[in-house]
Structure 1
Amino acid sequence: MTKNEILKTIITHLENKPFTHISDIRSAVKEVLRSRGQFGEVTRQQGNVRITETLTMSDRVALETNEIIYDFLYGRVITPGTDEFNLELPWVHLSNPEKLAEIKNALEQEV
């Protein structure tokens, strides 16, 4: 998974769930990997043998996901807190949808 694919996944997640949890953002990336057969329990047939293995997110993808989350925090695209009772990290909300749209448009221009 490329960094741009991770970025697109996170943007889509924030557009659909503007009030969220950092672990939910990471889970959105994991779901894309799972749908590609690159994360979670995967069963493969090799000859007469079925092999089941549990795949984890690569360090590179995990660190790039974190990097994007923190870039969004520092850029004030997302801000800690979702309501009166969850004002701190790991709870976050989309605080600047215009900036998110700019990032999304710039990403689409690259393609």
Structure 2
Amino acid sequence: MLFSRWLGLAVYQWRAEEYVSFVIQFMLGMGLGFQVPVILIVLVKLRVLDYKLLARARPYVILINLTLSAILTPPDLVSQIMMAIPLQLMYELTVLLAWFFTRKSKFTQQIQ
């Protein structure tokens, strides 16, 4: 143990308080982040939003996702990426579903 510290190979050990704080922040951030697509889909179904608006907002959403990931995770890049990528993938899935719902509603209007 002392030898590895002397060589600079010591592994940082988390204290329980730091670990619990990290887990709570990460779960809260991901939980809130995964609710956003549900809200967006509801707004698309109510015709408040459409897929074109969601697609135009993509650069801003990427910036918001990266900013939230930087705030809610510890200052290492891996945790930030672990949070930002799923959030962005969920947004892209939301845009795809919005496109599908818009197309489906236009198709049903043409039939009637």
Larger Rg: 2
Relative contact order, CA 8 A, sep 6+: which one is greater? Answer: 2
Q: Which structure has greater helix proportion?
A: 2
Q: TM-score, normalised by structure 2?
A: 0.32
TM-score normalised according to structure 1 size: 0.33
